Amino acid sequence: MKEKKVTAWDRVKIARDSKRPTSLDYIENIFDEFIELHGDRYFSDDKAMVCGLARIGEMNFTVIAEQKGRTTRENIERNFGMPNPESYRKSLRFMKQAEKFHRPIITFIDTKGAYPGIGAEERGQGESIARNLMEMSDLKTPIIVVVIGEGSSGGALAIGVGDQILMLENAIYSILSPEGYATILWKDASKAKEAAEIMKLTAKDLYDLKVIDKIIKEPEGGAQKDVKHTSEQIKKEILKSVKELNKKTVSDLVNDRYNKFRDMGEYAKVK
């Protein structure tokens, strides 16, 4: 890979650019057909998460996607892409369906984090994320995760337990937003830029840490410069991953996924 002088903070800005393609832009370009389906069957339909059925050629998929808006109006409708528990429960409903019909699942991560609100806590934000993590780890169908923009906190990971984790070159993925990180560690949100540089949140950092499996190149200036081209690259990787994952038996698939996350953690024997 060519070395460019792009700082982590530059990537944060690109990842958050209001012109950056959202999940629906990619879905439209990647799939030949897509039908959105709604609701968690318990409480409501949370529009920060888009779920539905999609097709490429003869192949069917279940799509789960965190959805930001681009205009203020869209953002209010989408709750700025910050899911409430209903989003995670909706996504789990569709993932279980995918398992039933042996369809591969494609998830798109793009969120500042799960929504920190009174209602979200009342309805079990923590429980809804935990349940997704647990259920995804054992789902008997291939799961391909694509980090397209911002992937912050448990709100991102809640649809991120997959067999193959792809990430766009300028996307970020982290324990928390740089602002939140700076607030917790230094009680100063304005140190977000410094935080971004030490958090290891770029695709390259995460590849080196073995948190993601593949970096998808973006055009010069970011995905926003050429949505069609970027979508083509994502599509190519999705198809390649599905082909590989379909070769595995279901038990190998689930065991390999378990071990993939089982192996995450950096520790050594005390001397």
Partner 1 sequence: MVIDKIKKRNVDNGQVKSKVDIPIGKWVKCDKCKEILYKENLHKNFGVCPKCNNNFRLSSRRRIEQIIDEGTFKEFNLKIETTNPINFPGYKEKLKALKAKTNIDEAVKCGIGEINSEKVVICVMDGNFVMGSMGSVVGEKITYSIEKAIKLKLPIIIFCVSGGARMQEGIISLMQMAKTSAAVAKLHKAGNLYISVLTDPTYGGVTASFAMLGDIILAEPGARIGFAGPSVIKQTISQELPEGFQTAEFMLEKGFVDKIVERKEMKDILYKLILLNK
Q: Which is nearer to partner 1, 62 or 174 (CB)?
A: 174
Query: HSE-up of 200 (CA within 13 Å, CB side)?
Result: 8
| Strand partners for 49 | 66
Using CA atoms, how far apart are residues 266 and 244, in angstroms rounded to an integer?
28
Which residues in this chain contact partner 1 in the complex, by CB under 8 A?
A: 114-118, 120-127, 129-131, 133-135, 137-138, 153-154, 157-158, 160-161, 173-176, 180-181, 184-185, 198-201, 206, 209, 211, 257-258, 261-262, 264-270
Closer to partner 1 by Cβ: residue 1 or 118: 118
Round the CA-based radius of gyration of the chain to a whole number and report it: 18
Q: Locate tokens 């995760």: which residue?
A: 145
Task: For partner 1, give the closer residue by CB, 187 or 228.
Answer: 187
**CB of 252: closest distance to partner 1 in angstroms?**
16
Q: Which residues, 6 or more positions from 253, have their beta carbon under 8 angstroms from its beta carbon?
A: 140, 141, 142, 163, 245
Our CB check for partner 1 shows the closer of 108 and 115 to be 115
Distance between CA atoms of 222 and 229, rounded to whole angstroms?
11
Q: Minimum distance between the CB of residue 239 and partner 1, rounded to whole angstroms?
A: 25
Q: Where are the beta strands (DSSP E) in 67-204?
A: 105-111, 143-152, 164-168, 172-174
Q: Please, what is the minimum distance in Å from the beta carbon of residue 160 to partner 1?
A: 7
Backbone angles phi, psi at 226, to 5 degrees: -155, 85
Question: To the nearest whole angstrom, how small is the minimum distance from the Cβ of residue 122 to partner 1?
Answer: 5
Q: Which is nearer to partner 1, 101 or 261 (CB)?
A: 261
